[in-house]
Structure formats: structure tokens, C-alpha cells
Amino acid sequence: MLQVLAALWKFLLRLIGIRPRSGGPQVDYVMGRMDLNFQNMKGELDKVSNLVYTLEKDRVSKFGELTTQLKEIGKQTEALTDSTRTLREALANPRSRGQWGERMAEDILGLIGFKESVNYRKQSTIVGTGSRPDFTFLLPRNQILNMDVKFPLDNYLRFMETETPQEKEPFRRAFLKDVRTRLNEVITRDYINSEQNTLACVLLFIPNEQVYHFILEQDDSVIDEALKNQVVLCSPLTLFAILAVIRQAVDNFTIEQTSNQIISEMGAFKEQWDKFLDKLGDVGKRIESTQKEYQSLITTRRRALERPLNRIETLRKEQGLGLPVDLVDEEEQITVDVAELK
């Protein structure tokens, strides 16, 4: 860098007609100016160099953070891919798929606040028919509502994996056929039975919103056919709404039943309260009669008894008769005892 600056300095001196070794005031002045400019340039170059170093250091740091984040994202993507593959393999098995659907339903029941054996039963066989719905909801007045979990998936996945409409169409038709097959299975299983006090409908739970909406979009006649046979198709969201209404109805019935019991107890209390008041009135009358008798004793009867006593006392005094000796001794003893107490 210094060699470049020296060469540049010599070039400038030649331009103004001064040789580098000629000396003199002009040379000193020019060299001073050049020195000052060189110092300024050196300072600016140092600043630029420091800035470049800082930027390079920050770039290395940011690049390292970015590399770490990309590696972490790669790990998460790989884990998600493995989970998706595992889930898909599990759902390929009809039994595993049914268990997964039941687990989804249980999660929704838990969110609503339903408890097994209190609000619903699982895999409970219907007496007399042998049918066994996946869930049986216990309603007021000993009524029940049955629900089955059905999840046709194979042809739906094949439909999603294909790209062209020509390839998709056979799988679309096969999937809708699978849905109708599951629907007919529910219809023919006596889940609606007046002898068992069931409601006049049954729930068919499809535990996947995407599959449920795909059915609605591709063939809405499936819903009409289901409703015609008293079958209500439910997705996770619609099942939540239906169960929320059922829970509210159960709570309202419980409150109504409790209110009726309270009113009945109030009637029993009123009956006992009236009897209590009757008895209390009788006791009051008896107390009042006793009070009258007592007043009669301390007034009329007392005066009646005191009149002959007064006449007897008058006769005793007129005849100068004293009190009996034992009575006098008793009175003296009482007087002595009183004196000792004082």
C-alpha cells in the first residue's frame, strides 16, 4: 500500500513540474499537503478495513446460526416425515384405523366433559340383537344414543396420490362406494331399537375433517341417503357440536329433576310445618290454661285460705296462747344459724 502511495506521490509531482529530489519550499508545501491527505486516506482506509472485518465477522456468525437453524429444520422435517410414514402405515390397517378413530372420539368426549360409565359406554353389546356400537351415550329418562366410528381411507389416499383427473376418477368412485358400504353396515345393525329405548337416529363418526368435507364436495347425496335412514354423519367439529347440545340437555334435565325434588321436599316440609304449628297452638293453649289456673291459685284460692288462718291467728292472740315449744326452738335455731353466717 505504501509503495502505491509513493508512486502516486511521484506522479503528482511530475504533473505539477517538480522533481521529487529538487527540494525547495514548493516541494515542502506539496509534501506537507500530501502527508496530510495520506494520513486522512489512511484513517479512512482503516475505518473501511475495520468495517469490512466487522461485517465479515458478523457474516460468519450469522451464517453459522443459519446453518444451525437449517440443520434443526432438517431434523424436524425428517422426524415429521417418519411420523407421517408411521401414521400412514398404522392407518393402512383397518383395525388400527378403527382404534385411532375411537381415540379421536374419546378426545372429543373428554373436551365436552363426558366420563365413561357415567355419560357413555364403550363397545356395549345390545341385548337381543348382538350388535355392538363403538359408543353408547346415556341420556335422561333411560334413553340411549348409539354411535359407530367408520373411516374408509385406502381409496381416498390413492385418490390424493394420483395427479391427473383420469387417474383420480376410479379411486373417487371407489371411495364413495366404500362410504356407502359403511353407511349400510350401520343401517343394518339395529342401532335404532325402540325396545332398547334408543333415540330415532344413530351417529356415524368420520374422524377426519378433510375426508368428511371431501364426501360433501364429491357426492352430497350420501348425506341425504344417511339422513333418510336416520343416520347422522359427523366430523370431529360437528360431533363436538352435537355432544355439546346433548351435554346441555342432560344438564337441563338434571336441573329440572333436582328442582322437582326440591319442590316435593318443600311440600313435605309445609305439611310437617302445619302439624308443628297445630301442636304448638295446643301447647300454647295448655300453657295459657295453666297460667290461668296459677293466677287463680295465687289470688282467689290464696285469699280463701288466708281468711280462716287470719281468724284463727286472731283467736290465738285474743286468748293469749303462745306458739308450740318445738316451733319456738326451731325458730331460735334458725336465728342462731343466720347470726353465725353473718
pLDDT tens-digit profile, the chain (342 residues): 555 555 655 655 555 555 555 445 555 555 566 666 667 666 777 777 777 777 777 776 777 777 777 777 777 777 666 655 655 655 556 667 778 888 888 999 998 888 888 889 998 887 777 788 999 999 888 888 999 988 778 888 888 888 888 888 998 899 888 888 888 888 888 888 888 888 889 999 998 888 888 988 888 888 889 889 999 999 999 999 999 888 888 888 778 777 777 887 888 888 888 888 888 888 888 888 888 888 877 888 788 777 888 888 788 777 777 766 665 555 555 554 545 555
Pair 126, 217 in one domain: yes
Show the domain range for 35.
1-54
Report yes or no: 9 and 34 within 8 Å, Cβ to Cβ: yes
Phi first, then psi, for residue 266 (nearest 5°) are -65, -35
Pair 190, 318 in one domain: no
Pair 136, 13 in one domain: no
CA dist list (Å): 138 to 99, 236, 246, 258: 22, 20, 10, 18
Domain count, the chain: 3
Distance CA 294, CA 305 (A): 15
* Residue 225 located in a structural domain: yes
CA 161 to chain centroid, in Å, comes to 38
* Residue 100 located in a structural domain: yes
Pair 120, 186 in one domain: yes
CA dist list (Å): 213 to 33, 95, 98, 218: 83, 23, 19, 9
We report the CATH number of the domain holding residue 219 as: 3.40.1350
* Residue 157 located in a structural domain: yes
CA 72 to chain centroid, in Å, comes to 34
Pair 230, 103 in one domain: yes
Taking the whole predicted model, whether its pTM rises above 0.85 is answered as no
Distance CA 109, CA 244 (A): 9
